[in-house]
Amino acid sequence: METLELKNLWEEVKSGLIDELPENAHPWITPLEVTGYDKGVLTVVTGQMMGRDLLKRNYYNSIVNVIKNVTHNPDSDFVIIYDENAAKSLRKENEKLQKKVNAAIQKEQAMENLSYMQSASNLNLKYKFENFVVGKSNEFAYKVTKSVAENPAGKYNPLFIYGNSGLGKTHLMQAIGHYTIFKNPRLKVKYTKTEDYVNDFISNSRNSKDTIENMSKFNKKYTNIDIILIDDIQFIESKKKTMSQMQHTFDSLYNKGKQIVITSDRLPKDIPTLTSALCSRFEMGLMVELTPPDKDVRIGILKKLSADNGLEYTDEALNYIAEHYYNNVRELEGAFNRVSAFSDMTGSPLTIELARKILKCDETKKEIDLSKIANVVADYYNVSVDDLKGSARSQKISAARHMAVYLSRELCGNSFVSIAEFFNKKHTTIMFAHDKIQKEISCNSNLASDSREIKQALKVI
């Protein structure tokens, strides 16, 4: 019988003996150390001769009955041996084993506590440093965020991470939170999306008899922390009262020496209507840009996804996907999910033939450019490309123009500046149009349907 199994058996027997035998016998039971259980015979050793004799003389039958009940073996028996040195040696071994058991319990408890803290901090468990694929395109951002995690409120405070959607801003930001909680659980971390912050502020600042109390709770919620992680700050634009409150939150945390990390899809100066006060605060620390992943990073991501999903693949297949999905990580993962789902259903490995069959992106990706998108969108909305590039602001033309901008960004991955040049607009206007559709498309079924039909016309779905 294995040592741990034997120990557990003895603990169960000993518990039964404590319940069954009178209290004056307990001091003789407690020091007993089990040495074996063979062919129904349970052998224990004691360093107390008197205890051995007393237990054999007065309680032998009771002890055997308890062993029978625990082992469900009617032929069970009991042997007690006096050996002071053996008893001491066994006691030391059992103490070591107990320490290991206690350590395992403490580790499990620590992991439970860690999981609770991560949940309370609003963190996603998959966004950790060890899950982030590092390459030339993101190495600097990775090193900076790791430095912030190791030394919160050090030389990089605030930290402003910016870049296009789907490049890993949220991943690196939340990785800071996970690392901090694991290495220094006494620190309080909070992750929040800007939209959640805005909604929280609005709901607590409404005029009512409890407004003062609610705003006091709101301020404590966002300032009684050590690290705040604010995602997609661009969504605060045009919300004057919320920007004023954000300035208060920022100042309170910064003056108390707390770490502030912010993400955005653009630089502070490029966020329309952002107050100069907030803009200067965001720019006072370090600003780090995330750019589209280079090919090595994209292949690394695909290999990791394949390993996580237990998927067999060929290098040619991953190379094919990486060549055609280069704008951002989200797009790359979407392509992988499509081919991996088919691979799972058919039980076939991920080959280049399979990738070509499912993704069909050899020609269509190359054919799509800003001009083609503008033409297809113009036809769909029954307007002209000149209308899209002109200054007309009718509802019909504005809707078409906004959709064309959104799809140009999503399908081609062009910069806002290049899209602005194509449509003869300011790049801040283009950013506004893109963000407007991006926010509305998930909750507006008509808009989603328009986007889907245009993509079908472009032959990208």
Instruction: Name the pLDDT band for 97 (thresholds 50, 70, 90).
Output: low
Name the CA dihedral angle for 315, 317, 322, 323, rounded to a multiple of 10 degrees. 110
Number of other CB atoms surrounding residue 59 within 10 Å: 20
The pLDDT value given to residue 287? 95
**Quick one: tokens of 253?**
């945390």
The pLDDT value given to residue 426? 86
Q: How far apart are CA 1 and CA 343, in angstroms?
A: 45
Q: How far apart are CA 149 and CA 274, in angstroms?
A: 28
**More confident: 311 or 90:** 311
Average per-residue pLDDT for the chain: 86
The C-alpha R_g of the chain, in whole angstroms, comes to: 33
Domains and CATH numbers, the chain: 3-92 (3.30.300.180), 129-289 (3.40.50.300), 295-362 (1.10.8.60), 366-458 (1.10.1750.10)
Establish how many alpha carbons lie within 13 A of residue 352's alpha carbon, considering only the half-sphere containing its beta carbon: 10
Mean per-residue pLDDT, 186-204? 92
**More confident: 122 or 407:** 407
Instruction: Name the pLDDT band for 177 (thresholds 50, 70, 90).
Output: very high
**Quick one: tokens of 382?**
């029954």
Q: What is the pLDDT of residues 21-63, one digit of tens each?
A: 998 888 888 888 888 898 889 998 888 788 888 899 999 999 9
Calculate what percentage of the chain has a pLDDT beyond 90.
41
- In three-state secondary structure terms, 33 is strand
pLDDT at 279 over 70: yes
Q: Is 103 left (phi over 0), alpha (psi -120 to 50) or beta?
A: alpha
Whether the predicted model's global pTM rises above the 0.75 cut: no
Q: What is the pLDDT of residues 320-331, one digit of tens each?
A: 898 888 778 888
Mean per-residue pLDDT, 190-215? 88
pLDDT at 101 over 80: no
The pLDDT value given to residue 347? 83
Concatenate the DSSP letters of all residues of 263-316 into one string: EESS-GGGSTT--HHHHHHHHTSEEEE--PPPHHHHHHHHHHHHHHTT--B-HH
- In three-state secondary structure terms, 22 is coil
Instruction: Name the pLDDT band for 362 (thresholds 50, 70, 90).
Output: low
- Answer positive or negative: Cα dihedral of 235, 239, 242, 247: positive
Q: How far apart are CA 402 and CA 337, in angstroms?
A: 29
